[in-house]
Amino acid sequence: LLLPANKFIDIALPSYDYIIVGGGVAGLVVANRLTENQNVTVLVLEAGDLDPAPDLITVPGLVGHGFIPSQNWNITTAPQASLDNRTRDYGQGHVVGGGSILNGLVMTRGAKHDYDAWRTLGNPGWSWHGMLHYFKKSENFSTCVTPEDRRRLYIRPHMKVHGKKGPLQVGYPRFFYNSSKNFLEGVSELGIPILHDINAGISAGASIAPATINDRNQSRADSRRAYLDSVLNRPNLHLATQQTVTRILFGAEVVDESSSLPVKGLKRIYGVEFATSADSPRKRVACNKEVILAAGAIISPALLQVSGIGPTPILEELGVPVQIDLPGVGQNLQDHGMVGAFYNYTRPGLFTANNLTGDILEEVEGQYFANRTGPLTHPLISTLAFASLRHLATNWKSLLSNISNSQPESYLPPGPGQHPTILKGYAQQHRLLTSLLSHPTVGALEVMADSIGTLTAAVQHPFSRGFVRALSADLFANGSVAPNILLDPRYCSHPFDCDILVRGLKLNNQLVKTKAMQQLIPQPSYPWDDSTAQNDTALLEAIHSKIQTEFHPAGSTSMLPLDLGGVVSPRLVVYGTSNLRVVDAGIIPLLPAAHIQAAVYAIAEKAGDMIKQDSTDREPNPNEGEATPPPPNPFTNGPPGLGPGIVQGPGVGGGFHGDHGHPH
């Protein structure tokens, strides 16, 4: 139900039990699960709008054809000092559904060991075992692949590890390019196994990865379609679009003896401040229970900082009063850097995505829209391989021992990145990474194959750590949010990451020489041809100029113990607060070797259960209402009944302008 913009004042409540900041992947999962309880009220504030389902979004075959500008935050990285000193564009979803509206649909989980490492880092309950229930809970897995495709492409999922009843459709396209088979068998010739199911706990191997595709109509499955559309009529769920949260507001300090949360003497969050645009009035809304940050790994930490939660030196520079000195906020940022290398397949008659032009495109479109079959059901990437370090280097043991003997702190950013807790946390990650990379089932590198000859290499267990920070106390300074965010992934600030990519490109050069791949008649061009294939310096130079994001930012609000630079506890509560959680990709303490949407859906499902559980544990809580007196109604039209629906921006009128004396 979409209500006109001016209904915002009419239907918004003065306070909600839960306020979710960001209606992307994690935010919509949590909104759905919390509103299963009809006695609970939830407001989702989303900066973007509902997408009108254009073909560019819904048709898998159009993945990679660009972003709709209004749906992208248009963030740019800092110049990459360890590469070529250039900035990189960094697309992020600014739309209901967040990254799941823009993403490449690839659905991979990573290895069992990747998640067991999260537990080892001090997070009980967050092992593979702890996540598997939620991987399954989120997905409705479908195996509608023809027997012929199953056989030739080795698709045999282990149904025990998949869910059939979850909201998110996960399946396979109804069309595969022939080059997929060459790729799988070529990789196998190099001694890397073909996996029948890449999501069963062993990820080092080649596979056809499932996709977030709705099997029935072969269109994109995203968090909005999966988790929101079917529950929009719940009267206890309000979604306000085009509302950017600019600050988290603090209430009184509470001492809550009865809570299972670590709340004694902690700060209580009162609500949030938000606005439709830089020059529109700031409004406030209060929470009865919690504020839940789901603004993604880049904006959630910036929001914490401008609200006074973060490293003191950064808060002081911003001129923001320090509410909680939390050194980890914005640190430990990790990403999978990737390099697209091109080996043009020239076999005469080979059908590739390049053929989708003119009459053929018209025919293929007709096929797709008439009966949802054909090449347009196929996303950009279905075919990929994860190589373990053993697959990349015979001297893997000595490589790892060299890393173990190095000084981890020298690789971290200066300033707030050198806080003792951050150093300690990174040293632990460093040890765990070397252990993970020694494992034959864990990916060190991913190679993604499209149909035309691009073999994109991406480093999967990066040692480099970047950071994100706000540049202004007002996220809307200078008119929009992006210029106020400093995002520095610091690609290859640890040289081992680029070393992995060099090895990856050499692997590519071996791969295109296999019998299976030779059938495609690949024509590598400079810098991927034989002139540079064995020349590390030339490959490194090419990598430096071509690295870009695989769009997997994580770690910037890490779930780690406080003395390891953590921001949230294993219950995802921000340290120092009683009722503020983060549930998005930022909490991932160590990136898995995988595309990370599967992990984010599962994290949010787990968060939903924890929030419900903690709420039950906490009730009745006589102190709670007293500690934070009901706020004045921030909407001039008074508290109406809770009506169903979406509240769509631009929000008009009625908000508090400036301070009204209660929260700060």
Binding-site positions for FAD read: 95, 103-106, 245
Q: Which of residues 210-249 bind ligand FAD (CB under 6 A)?
A: 244-245
CB of 73 to ligand FAD, least distance (A): 7
As a three-state string, the secondary structure of 346-403 is CCCCCCCHHHCCHHHHHHHHHHHHHHCCCHHHCCCCCEEEEECHHHHCCCHHHHHHHH
Give the Cα separation of 303 and 309 in Å (integer): 9
Asked if 100 is part of the footprint of ligand FAD (rule: CB under 6 A), the reply reads yes
Amino acid (1-letter code) at residue 207: S
CB of 436 to ligand FAD, least distance (A): 19
Indicate the residue among 393 and 482 with the shorter CB distance to ligand FAD: 482
- Write out the catalytic residue numbers: 552, 595
Asked if 26 is part of the footprint of ligand FAD (rule: CB under 6 A), the reply reads yes
By CB under 6 A, name the one of 256, 584, 614, 624 that touches ligand FAD.
Answer: 584
Question: Which window, 78-86, 279-287, 296-304, 415-423, contacts ligand FAD (CB under 6 A)?
Answer: 296-304
C-alpha torsion sign, points 632, 638, 641, 643: negative
CA proximity to 204, closest of 289, 276, 112? 112
Indicate the residue among 83 and 596 with the shorter CB distance to ligand FAD: 596
Asked if 61 is part of the footprint of ligand FAD (rule: CB under 6 A), the reply reads no
Asked if 103 is part of the footprint of ligand FAD (rule: CB under 6 A), the reply reads yes
Asked if 22 is part of the footprint of ligand FAD (rule: CB under 6 A), the reply reads yes
CB of 306 to ligand FAD, least distance (A): 10
Indicate the residue among 29 and 399 with the shorter CB distance to ligand FAD: 29
Amino acid (1-letter code) at residue 118: W
Q: Would you list the DSSP string of 607-626?
A: HHHHHHHHHHHH-S-HHHHH
Question: Which window, 18-26, 162-170, 428-436, 536-544, contacts ligand FAD (CB under 6 A)?
Answer: 18-26
CB of 243 to ligand FAD, least distance (A): 6
Asked if 99 is part of the footprint of ligand FAD (rule: CB under 6 A), the reply reads yes
Indicate the residue among 45 and 228 with the shorter CB distance to ligand FAD: 45
Asked if 443 is part of the footprint of ligand FAD (rule: CB under 6 A), the reply reads no
Give the Cα separation of 513 and 186 in Å (integer): 8
Indicate the residue among 244 and 429 with the shorter CB distance to ligand FAD: 244
Contact 186, 516 (CB under 8 A): yes
Asked if 98 is part of the footprint of ligand FAD (rule: CB under 6 A), the reply reads yes
Asked if 93 is part of the footprint of ligand FAD (rule: CB under 6 A), the reply reads yes
Asked if 23 is part of the footprint of ligand FAD (rule: CB under 6 A), the reply reads yes
Give kind and range of the element (H or E) at residue 469: strand 467-470
Give the Cα separation of 219 and 225 in Å (integer): 11
Give the Cα separation of 131 and 121 in Å (integer): 15
Size of the site for ligand FAD (CB under 6 A): 41
Binding-site positions read: 95, 103-106, 245
Give kind and range of the element (H or E) at residue 309: strand 309-310
Asked if 506 is part of the footprint of ligand FAD (rule: CB under 6 A), the reply reads no
Alpha-carbon Rg for the chain in angstroms: 24
CB of 26 to ligand FAD, least distance (A): 3
Q: Show the site string, 381-420: x = touches ligand FAD by CB under 6 A, - = not.
A: ----------------------------------------
Asked if 295 is part of the footprint of ligand FAD (rule: CB under 6 A), the reply reads yes
Asked if 199 is part of the footprint of ligand FAD (rule: CB under 6 A), the reply reads no
Give the Cα separation of 538 and 536 in Å (integer): 6
For 357-387, give one letter per residue: b (16+ CB within 10 A) or e.
eeeeeeebbebbeeebebbbbbbbbbbbbbb
By CB under 6 A, name the one of 9, 11, 31, 47 that touches ligand FAD.
Answer: 47
CB of 605 to ligand FAD, least distance (A): 12
Indicate the residue among 170 and 400 with the shorter CB distance to ligand FAD: 170
Give the chain's length: 664
CA proximity to 567, closest of 408, 411, 422, 415? 422
Indicate the residue among 342 and 551 with the shorter CB distance to ligand FAD: 551
Asked if 375 is part of the footprint of ligand FAD (rule: CB under 6 A), the reply reads no
CB of 273 to ligand FAD, least distance (A): 10
Residues 6+ apart with CB under 8 A from 511: 183, 186, 187, 190, 447, 455, 517
CB of 335 to ligand FAD, least distance (A): 10
CA proximity to 287, closest of 660, 639, 625, 27? 625
Give the Cα separation of 526 and 532 in Å (integer): 7
Question: Which window, 96-104, 321-329, 363-371, 619-627, contacts ligand FAD (CB under 6 A)?
Answer: 96-104
Q: Would you list the DSSP string of 580-597?
A: EEE-SGGG-SS--SS-SH
Give the Cα separation of 283 and 543 in Å (integer): 46
Indicate the residue among 244 and 441 with the shorter CB distance to ligand FAD: 244
Residues that bind ligand FAD (CB under 6 A): 21-27, 45-48, 91-95, 98-100, 102-106, 244-245, 294-297, 299, 303, 551-552, 584-585, 595-598, 600
